[in-house]
Structure 1
Amino acid sequence: MTHDPFGTGALRRAVTEAWLASPTRFREDANSEEDHARGWYRDRVVVELAQNAADAAARAGVPGRLMLTLEPRGFAGDDGYGSDDPGGSDAGWWLVAANTGAALDAGGVASLASLRASAKSGSAGSGSGSDSGSGSGAGSEPVSGSHGVVGRFGVGFAAVRSVSDEILVRSRDGGVRFSLAATREALGLAPGLGHGADGNETGPLHRDRSDVGPVSAQPTDLAASGGAGGEAAGRLVGEAERRGGALPVLRLPFPASGTTPEEPDTVVELRLRDDAAVAAVRAQLAAVDDGLLLALPALDELVIEDDYAGQPGSDLGDAVPHATPRVLRDVATRWRVHRSSGALEPDGSLPSEARRPDWSVLWALPVPGRSAAGGFAAAGLAAAGPTSNAPTWTASTLHAPTPTDVRLTFPALLIASFPVDPGRRGVLPGPTSDRVAAEAGRAYAAFLGELAAGSPDGDTLTGGLPTSDPTAGATGDPGPAPSGTAAPDLLGLVPAGLPAGEVDAAIRASAAQALRDTPLLRPSEADAPVAPRDAAFVAGPLGEEPELARALAPGAPRSLVTVPVRYQALVRSLGADAVDLADLVEALPPEPDAVHAALDALAPHAGEPTVLEAVAGMPLPLADGRVTRGARGTVLLDTPWLAGIARALGVRVVHPDVVHPVLERVGAVPTTPRGLLADAGVRSAALGAAEDVLDDGDAEHLAAVLSARPSSAPDDGGPDGGPGPEAGPGPDDGPAATVSAVLELVRLAVAASGPGDLPFWLGELPVVADGAVAPLRETALPGTWAARHLDLAPVHDGVVERWGGDTLEAAGAHAGLCVYRVSDVVTPDGDDDADYGPDDPAGWLADWDEYLDLLADELGAGAWVGDVAAVLDLDALTDVAGTEPEQSRLAAGLARVAADPDLRRALLTPVRSPDAPDRQAVSYTAWFLRRRLGAPFALGDVPLLPPAPPETAGLDADLLVALGGLHNLADLPGRDWPTVLEGLPDAESGSAGRVRADVARAVWAGLAALARADGPGIAPPRLPALGPAGITVERTDDLAVAASPRWAQLGPVVPAPADVAGALADLLDLPLEGGSDVGPDEPGEPAELDPRVRAVVPGAPATWRRHTTLTVEGRGVAWWVTTVEGEGAVAHAVSPEGLARALAELTGADALLLEAVLRDPGRAEALDAERAWG
């Protein structure tokens, strides 16, 4: 007989008597066990065994250790099993739980067999909740030690029935077993009624059966009971038979042997019912991790051994062990934990077993990189991706302290003392739950505050945290948080979205309220975190930039933090202020360092419109101490000492410490000395000062200001010995100081990049010259070519010494002749006078408007010409003044033009317009000098033209032609013809003057060339003409143009070739002679033309008309040519000479040859042959 130290026989007897007395009680017990085993506790075997182990360790006040082993027994090759099993073979899979702690006692056995009454008592410690019933190591004494017990209802042990029909609990003082087969025997049922769910008969309950005696149901066999008892027994047996295998096994304990000295304090062994049970247990073992140890703080170590993990559950075959035991310990090193607890008012609405005098809350998060192997499902946290050292959770389950079915949206493990229902899956509503939920929310906020502040050893939680944000990456790791900012992981720990239920909503509401005042966000300008209600952030993607937040913090109404876009709505809901970038920028203190830091931080985003808009309203410190809003209209100088000069000129110069490329994007102009000279404000200030100085005329004061040396030494910062920061003009120097400041800019510009492209208006700056105030443009530098040859006053020696010749020449003073360009020239198309400003060289070019009229005549009115190069101050060469005669100055000027490539090019290059591509005009320089030289002039023997002026001596042919020299009258421009023809003799009162034939022919040829070139019309007062009296000079109005010499017999005409006669008549506005209806007054007598003459002149007519007297329109002529219908061209003549002239016009043959042949036809052949010589 097995020793029965726990009185199991008495327990069985009491239970069976109760069943006999009331079969309903039997049914209630059976239903209750089935509900617990297959309903509420169906998946909690491992958790309940661990909980019982923790309770045993807590009672004993020792470190709790539990080993869970899933192993096969009794299969092939496993000797010693199944030989004396009264219930059948013991082969199968077994789950063994071995733990340290308080031993099993009679009270614990009674609790295990009671289903409702737990032997455990006392209040829960931190992490306690409402969970399991009594089990291994259960005792009847109150809890001692630092960890409270967990189970209270005494029903949790029923979970073992979800997977097993044979349960053995062994301890130091003995053991107890629960068996479906033994229960069936005790009830006197047929063997078939005791089979498990799979139909297999249950087997032995422990390894060593030698000390286990026969099972005895009770002293009196139920089946043999007679009388009323017999009837009761019959009813009980009937009810049991009706239920089949669903019997209340845990109500009938049987004695078993205890543990050996080598074994742990308590061992629980479960023979698993079938393959499904094996799979369920294996899954529960795989799900165990640190969460279970956190829920059961009395449990220090948990070892899981599943040698055949992943292999078939009931048929091992040739399988061999391969797995390494999994050990969980030192949970405190891998988890950050926050615990809170406090007193609780009694809640009369709760069952007495659920009432507690206090509450407790534990929140836990894994430390990044320190997580134990395995998933976190046992902690109620569902992994969003593959298991890793830093898993991501999207939902969690409330632990009270073991897992319930209450879903949470917090990404942390919550173990709280919520009152739960007997199934430990749901929370009981009421004041206690409300209080615990509120405290849990406040505790969570405090937990996040601790994480934000960092651990005592200085460690901070900045990466690898789980997150409640479903938009996070696959691993949920947002990476390390930027230094000095709120870690995005912490924000990810704040639940977002819809709550999972009432409990979750209550905890979240409390947490959200508490988080408003929790120092959670770390501002950029301080080490200590701040609460959301005291924080502000930049709305939008820029709110993620730590450098930007640090730079804009001085303008923020609250502590400025960086917040990722995905968390900005959350942070705002917690009370943080979302501020616009423009508002922060506008609120920046106008300190150079603060503004420059903001520009540096904004620079990477300078292409974004919102950034540009914000910078456009930024407070900008100026170099003179003022502050302006916005960069438009300001200039950027990266050289501090230029600021003083700029201030004197009224320029808004950005403080040198604020200069930044971003300002250029919003209107600030980066500049240099040359750039300042191009600034409209500088121009306005300079020209205004120039006008004031010129009006004042105080040469002595101006000389003193312009001759004064700067107060700073050359090494004070200015390049090339220029002024440093304090070198600007004094405040009392007035307009003269402004002139001095501009000259300093000119000096610096010339030193940096030469004199090119400086504004033309600089020539308006006044200086002292010859004791008077004069614009630079009207002065010459002493000792230069200009001072010797131009009619210009020399600049004061002190001014030249102070500024140097290069500076003054670049500003407008003359050292020689120079070329300027007049931009965008358009020929005039009306009478409006042009108004030239100080920027336009045209205002300084003598007779420029007249030259524009010339361009309009040559190129057309309104024609766009573009830029025109011109040599300036030519009038100073030609005006009578100075130290040498005009001719000498002009000759020197022409020689300088010839020697200087730029001057020469300005003279020789004609002016063209795209509007008249087939036309061109002479350059301004050539036009101006032609007028001074009296052009046109003859280059050789050209009739009517004067010889070349002596000033042109030594010039090359190209220059002479450009200056108006001609080799013949055919090259004479149309505009010069009236002047040239002025040289003809007068034709007064009908008495014609005479010219040489060569002069007349030159004139006629030149006019024909002009007409052929479609030159402009001219109206000379007189012209050489050919008429009955020979070559004479006639009044132009009395002439006509003739294409044939026969018209000269009727009166003076201007001869012209037939192809240009009409154009010449239009050019001179004269009639054209040559109508075909003009003929002899008499027809004349027909006469044969000698054939010998016709042989010499092919094409000659066969006949001609002989006249004794030939008249046309009443005037006598020697010959004529007409066209007669039916005859063609007809020659009329009174003599051989006249006939020869008429035939020459008809055939184009030589008139003299024809006359010779007509006079002596016999010599026709010889004369014709002589034409071989031409």
Structure 2
Amino acid sequence: MLAAWRDSPTRFTEDTNSERDLRVGAYRDRLFVELAQNAADAAQAAGVPGRLRVSVVDGELRVANTGAPLDARGVESLASLRASGKEQLGTVGRFGIGFAAVLTVTDEPRVVSTTGAVGFSARRTREEAARSGDVPVLRLPFPVDEEPTAGYDTEVRLPLREQGRALLDEVAGEIGDLLLALPWLAEAEVDGRVWTRTGDGIVQIDGPQGKARWRTHGPWAVPVDDEGVPRPLNDDVLHAPTPTDEELSLPARLILAVPLEPSRRRVLPGDGLTEALRDAAGQYVALVRELPPEHRFALIPAAGFPKSTVDSQLGEFIFAELSGQPWLSTVDGEVVPGRQARILDVDAPGLSSLLADLVPGLVVVPPSAVRLLKPVSAQLQGIGDVLELLTGIDRQPEWWRELYAVLAKAVDGHALTSAQLDGLPVPLSDGRTLPGVQGALLVEGSGELLELLSDVDVPGLRLVHPAAAHPLLERLGAKHADARQLLEAEQVQYAVERSVADVQSGSDGMVLAGAVLRLVAECGDQAPGWTAALALPTEDGWRRAAEVVLPASPLLDVFDPEVFEPDGALAVLDEEFAEDWPAETLVATGVLDSFAVVRDEQPHEPDHDLPDEDLWWEACEPSTVVAVRDLDLVADDAWPAALRLLAARPQTWQALHTPDGHAAWWLSQYALLAGEPPGAWRMPSATGLAGLYDVVPDLGLTDDLLLVTGVRTELVLDTAEDVTDLLDRLGDPARTPAPGLVARAHAALVAAPVEVADLDAPAGVRVADGTVATEAVVLDAPWFAAVLEPSRMVVAPQDPERLAELLDLPTASGLPAEVTSTGEYVAWAELPAVLLVAEQLGLALPDGGLLLHDPLTVTVDGTEYDVPWWSDDRLHAADTSEGLARAFATAGGRWAERYRITALLEDPAPRTLLN
């Protein structure tokens, strides 16, 4: 070497520069790595696991190892730049340059072995080469007379330029990874701290800080805990077998001999590298398979930007292997490659086991690993795919409930939303499976009810099978229906309203009837009004419940027998059917046991099927309807019993007493008491009506009932029938009404709200003398009273023209009349007696005057009469107190004062006024 330097100074410079490049470049931080590799190679060469000891003694870093000692070939390798004496398969060093790493800490290294020792020295090299400055240290080996530390075969001694404490700590930080990468090293000691490597397959590194466990297979190693659960890596580098600068993002460590650059930091691209990486990828799948199935997903590489070319290439190879080789355990026990795997993209524990027989290749995957499986060609099954799989399948209701429980947990955990489960199949009680919960009903009730409902054919009624019912269905839109809610369902209402027609078309009405009655019973015998349309069996066929009477109903005794004839208004419930159900349930459904009440708080029109409802509505315009139906079915001779039946129940009693109610209105016109309408009788206390109306007979009815039906207490006429009846009574010669009653009767006739066109003319009329006449006139002008006989005239206190129309009589003023005497015109102010009376009574004198006669005669209807006063176009009076008084009262609008005026005219004394 010295000769070569002398012959070629350039060679010396090249060696110096090359060594400096290694010191400050490729091997600047690889001191211990390179020494550990040499120790591992020595142990392998000896065929015995090696031990390594690192210490600082007297300022020297000493690295001792067991194994094959240094030989001449090894010394040649140390002293050369490009040659290595290691030829054994599996050893690491090949270039003979790794030892150059020692130059980073020393320029006086020594290698002491049981076979001899050599040293290198920058100082001595300068002396031998006669040079100064930088010299190549590792070209001239010098004999050294030293022995390695006892118990070790070789020891590298490195006098340090600086203190070695920090260096020992750095070595301690690397030792665990080196024991893993260099399997021929079994033990390492650093300044008294000991690390050991044990195990095969599961490699355990024990050190001062604890232990580290690695599962290994081929070139791969992954950290695991005491239970073997992997703890995947995030960032690492390729180990070949010691660390390189090739960054990797794989969950496991790759310790693989690959083609490297001389620095051992970078790989050499080419077929050799590709083949090595491809083989490693194949063994990666084997490492994955060694893990329990539930932990294998931890070793799926995360897709992302590769950290190096090697990382990219290796990732592609691993994904390809995971796609093509079996490693995924399915729920049915098979192992499939990634491309055959089906993954539920739904975080719902337990769902996979339920779908095992529906999805070939189904693998249970933690939610965090689902996306990782996409690069290995696994097919993700979203919730939409699951719902499609479930559509049309046949499963027991219990299986569906278990499914709902699993999905409910996913919804609670926000892994799924309720909207995503739209279309979830639901098994129904009738054996159908509903594609979605829309319209489904979760029913609570007795087993008998559910059994009845499962058999009934109600279009649109979707009852969830009780064994499948789960709260999830309610969250998805199914309605929670107890008996009450079910009874109020539109579908049930529709079926009930069509039930009679369906039975007539051949359907079995018993199923629906039983189901509805059971619902009513479970609702406490309360039912909506439309249940009255339910078809029920009767003695004459199927009828609506509202048209059916209980076999023991008292209505059978008060309704006309024709009502119960075939095709009659009502029918009697079949006795055997009636025995199967409580009477309360049947009545609540609409079956009649007594009079039924019709209620409507907001009526809009007369559409309640009440008798003569239009007429009542027109007369009363009700704001509410509380009425009794079927009053028109009562037999004529059964009204007392019917009225007692009405009074016996609070509901019908209230209807009877509703102001302007239909019941009282109808009874007053159509009920019969002793064969007569109630208005034909008077109450015993109504003595003022005696002579026209007889006292109502004793029928066992209370006064209140009699009053409600319309038995009279006063003279009130509401209808044309009332007017006609009163006219007949007035024209009945057998009756002897008092004159005052006759006057009140005529006043009531005038006030009655009837049209004359709706009346017939009476055969006779009650005239002023109390008799009945067939011909008479209505007194419409008071002066005619002086010429008409009482037996010929009808007195009308009010509106004589109206009374004349009602009685079909002429008025008195229509008779031909003429004043036949001659009178003298006298102004009122010219009559002293009249002036005195006006002053006494405080009356103003009328304007004008009158024609004064003595006597006053008129001719009426061809007969001449002497009269006290008269009026035609002018006012006439006889020259008498009576004549002047009537004329003065008429002119002054004081007709009621005529008798006082007459008395004062005859005797103007004060006592007359007082009397």
TM bin, normalised by shorter chain, reads: 0.7 to 0.9
Partner of 1:871: 628
- 1:158 lines up with 2:100 in the alignment: yes
1:572-623 per-residue CA deviation (whole Å, 9 max, x = no partner) reads 3322222343443333331225444333323346799987677665566565
Partner of 1:561: 364
The count of residues paired between Structure 1 and Structure 2 equals: 829
1:164-198 per-residue CA deviation (whole Å, 9 max, x = no partner) reads 34434434455444444x24xx42xxxxxxxxxxx
Which amino acid counterpart does residue 561 of structure 1 have in structure 2? Answer: V
Distance apart, 1:299 and its partner CA: 1.6
Q: Is the 8 A contact 2:332 2:356 kept in 1?
A: no
Distance 2:618 2:61 in 1: 115
Q: Is the 8 A contact 1:259 1:265 kept in 2?
A: no
- 1:545 lines up with 2:348 in the alignment: yes
Which of 638, 647, 672 matches 1:898?
647
Q: Is the 8 A contact 2:456 2:515 kept in 1?
A: no
Distance apart, 1:819 and its partner CA: 3.0
Q: Is the 8 A contact 1:942 1:969 kept in 2?
A: no
Which amino acid counterpart does residue 983 of structure 1 have in structure 2? Answer: L
Query: Residues 943 and 545 from structure 1, CA distance in 2 versus in 1: closer, same or farther, beyond 3 angstroms?
Result: same
- 1:963 lines up with 2:709 in the alignment: yes
Partner of 1:858: 620
Q: Is the 8 A contact 1:637 1:653 kept in 2?
A: yes
Distance apart, 1:264 and its partner CA: 4.0
For the residue of structure 2 that corresponds to 1:650, the secondary structure is: coil
- 1:489 lines up with 2:375 in the alignment: no
Q: Is the 8 A contact 1:649 1:685 kept in 2?
A: no
Partner of 1:142: none
Distance apart, 1:896 and its partner CA: 2.6
For the residue of structure 2 that corresponds to 1:335, the secondary structure is: strand
- 1:532 lines up with 2:532 in the alignment: no
1:472-531 per-residue CA deviation (whole Å, 9 max, x = no partner) reads xxxxxxxxxxxxxxx6534xx3231122232112111111111113444443x3345533
For the residue of structure 2 that corresponds to 1:897, the secondary structure is: helix
Q: Is the 8 A contact 2:216 2:287 kept in 1?
A: yes
Distance apart, 1:31 and its partner CA: 1.1
Matches within 5 A, 1:164-203: 164-180=106-122, 182-183=123-124, 186-187=125-126
Q: Is the 8 A contact 2:545 2:590 kept in 1?
A: yes
Query: Residues 509 and 23 from structure 1, CA distance in 2 versus in 1: closer, same or farther, beyond 3 angstroms?
Result: same
Distance 2:64 2:779 in 1: 144
- 1:922 lines up with 2:661 in the alignment: yes
Partner of 1:1114: 873
Q: Is the 8 A contact 1:98 1:268 kept in 2?
A: yes
Which of 725, 742, 746 matches 2:512?
742
Query: Residues 413 and 1029 from structure 1, CA distance in 2 versus in 1: closer, same or farther, beyond 3 angstroms?
Result: same
Distance 1:622 1:109 in 2: 90
Which of 47, 54, 62 matches 1:61?
47
Matches within 5 A, 1:1046-1125: 1084-1086=827-829, 1101=844, 1106-1109=849-852, 1114=873, 1116=875
Q: Runs of 5+ in structure 2 lacking a partner? A: 205-211, 565-570, 788-792, 804-823, 853-868
Query: Residues 430 and 1002 from structure 1, CA distance in 2 versus in 1: closer, same or farther, beyond 3 angstroms?
Result: same
Distance apart, 1:62 and its partner CA: 3.0
Which deviates the most, 20-29 or 930-939?
Answer: 930-939
For the residue of structure 1 that corresponds to 2:671, the secondary structure is: helix
Partner of 2:856: none
Distance apart, 1:421 and its partner CA: 0.1
Which amino acid counterpart does residue 161 of structure 2 have in structure 1? Answer: R
Distance 1:122 1:952 in 2: 135
Matches within 5 A, 1:538-937: 538-539=344-345, 543-562=346-365, 564=367, 567-588=369-390, 589-592=393-396, 593-604=398-409, 617=423, 629-630=435-436, 645-646=452-453, 649-651=456-458, 655-663=465-473, 690-691=500-501, 735=507, 738-746=508-516, 748-749=518-519, 751-757=521-527, 760-761=530-531, 765-769=535-539, 777-791=546-560, 792=564, 795-803=573-581, 805-806=583-584, 808-821=586-599, 825-827=603-605, 842=608, 845-847=609-611, 850-859=612-621, 868-876=625-633, 878-880=634-636, 886=637, 889-910=638-659, 921-924=660-663, 927=666, 930-933=669-672, 934-936=677-679
Distance apart, 1:406 and its partner CA: 0.9
1:354-387 per-residue CA deviation (whole Å, 9 max, x = no partner) reads xxxxxxxx1111113689xxxxxxxxxxxxxxxx
Which amino acid counterpart does residue 284 of structure 1 have in structure 2? Answer: E
Which of 265, 271, 292 matches 1:425?
265
Which amino acid counterpart does residue 260 of structure 2 have in structure 1? Answer: V
Q: Is the 8 A contact 1:95 1:269 kept in 2?
A: yes
Q: Is the 8 A contact 1:768 1:774 kept in 2?
A: yes
Which of 145, 156, 163 matches 1:268?
156
Partner of 1:48: 34
Q: Is the 8 A contact 1:168 1:268 kept in 2?
A: yes
Which of 283, 305, 315 matches 1:508?
315
For the residue of structure 1 that corresponds to 2:727, the secondary structure is: coil
Distance 1:257 1:1056 in 2: 163
Distance apart, 1:820 and its partner CA: 4.6
Distance apart, 1:935 and its partner CA: 5.0
Distance 1:587 1:690 in 2: 42
Partner of 1:120: 86
1:762-804 per-residue CA deviation (whole Å, 9 max, x = no partner) reads 56535343x7776655554344433444445655544444556
Which amino acid counterpart does residue 559 of structure 1 have in structure 2? Answer: L
Q: Is the 8 A contact 2:616 2:665 kept in 1?
A: no
Partner of 1:247: 135
Which amino acid counterpart does residue 408 of structure 2 have in structure 1? Answer: A
Partner of 1:394: 234
Higher relative contact order (CA 8 A, sep 6+): 1
For the residue of structure 1 that corresponds to 2:188, the secondary structure is: strand
Which of 239, 242, 248 matches 1:408?
248
Query: Residues 1041 and 569 from structure 1, CA distance in 2 versus in 1: closer, same or farther, beyond 3 angstroms?
Result: farther
Which amino acid counterpart does residue 955 of structure 1 have in structure 2? Answer: T
Distance 1:408 1:1047 in 2: 136
- CA RMSD in angstroms comes to 5.3
Q: Is the 8 A contact 2:342 2:379 kept in 1?
A: yes
Which amino acid counterpart does residue 373 of structure 2 have in structure 1? Answer: V
Q: Is the 8 A contact 1:984 1:1022 kept in 2?
A: no
For the residue of structure 1 that corresponds to 2:109, the secondary structure is: strand
Distance 1:995 1:1021 in 2: 25
Which amino acid counterpart does residue 405 of structure 1 have in structure 2? Answer: D
Distance apart, 1:432 and its partner CA: 0.6
Query: Residues 691 and 177 from structure 1, CA distance in 2 versus in 1: closer, same or farther, beyond 3 angstroms?
Result: same
Distance apart, 1:625 and its partner CA: 5.4
Distance 1:1154 1:166 in 2: 168
- Identity, in percent, stands at 32
Distance 2:582 2:217 in 1: 85
Q: Runs of 5+ in structure 1 lacking a partner? A: 1-14, 74-80, 82-89, 125-148, 188-216, 224-236, 306-323, 341-361, 372-388, 454-459, 462-486, 696-733, 829-833, 835-841, 881-885, 911-920, 1065-1080, 1120-1132
Q: Is the 8 A contact 1:781 1:794 kept in 2?
A: yes
Partner of 1:478: none
Q: Is the 8 A contact 1:650 1:682 kept in 2?
A: no
What TM-score comes out, normalization by structure 2 length?
Answer: 0.75
Distance apart, 1:661 and its partner CA: 4.6
Distance apart, 1:419 and its partner CA: 0.6
Q: Is the 8 A contact 1:766 1:776 kept in 2?
A: yes
Q: Is the 8 A contact 1:943 1:999 kept in 2?
A: no
Q: Is the 8 A contact 1:981 1:1020 kept in 2?
A: no
Distance apart, 1:893 and its partner CA: 2.5
Q: Is the 8 A contact 1:452 1:519 kept in 2?
A: no
For the residue of structure 2 that corresponds to 1:1135, the secondary structure is: helix
For the residue of structure 2 that corresponds to 1:416, the secondary structure is: coil
Q: Is the 8 A contact 1:894 1:951 kept in 2?
A: no
For the residue of structure 1 that corresponds to 2:285, the secondary structure is: helix
Which of 12, 15, 26 matches 1:26?
12
Distance 2:138 2:159 in 1: 15
For the residue of structure 1 that corresponds to 2:81, the secondary structure is: coil
Query: Residues 584 and 432 from structure 1, CA distance in 2 versus in 1: closer, same or farther, beyond 3 angstroms?
Result: same
Q: Is the 8 A contact 1:750 1:807 kept in 2?
A: yes
Query: Residues 302 and 966 from structure 1, CA distance in 2 versus in 1: closer, same or farther, beyond 3 angstroms?
Result: farther
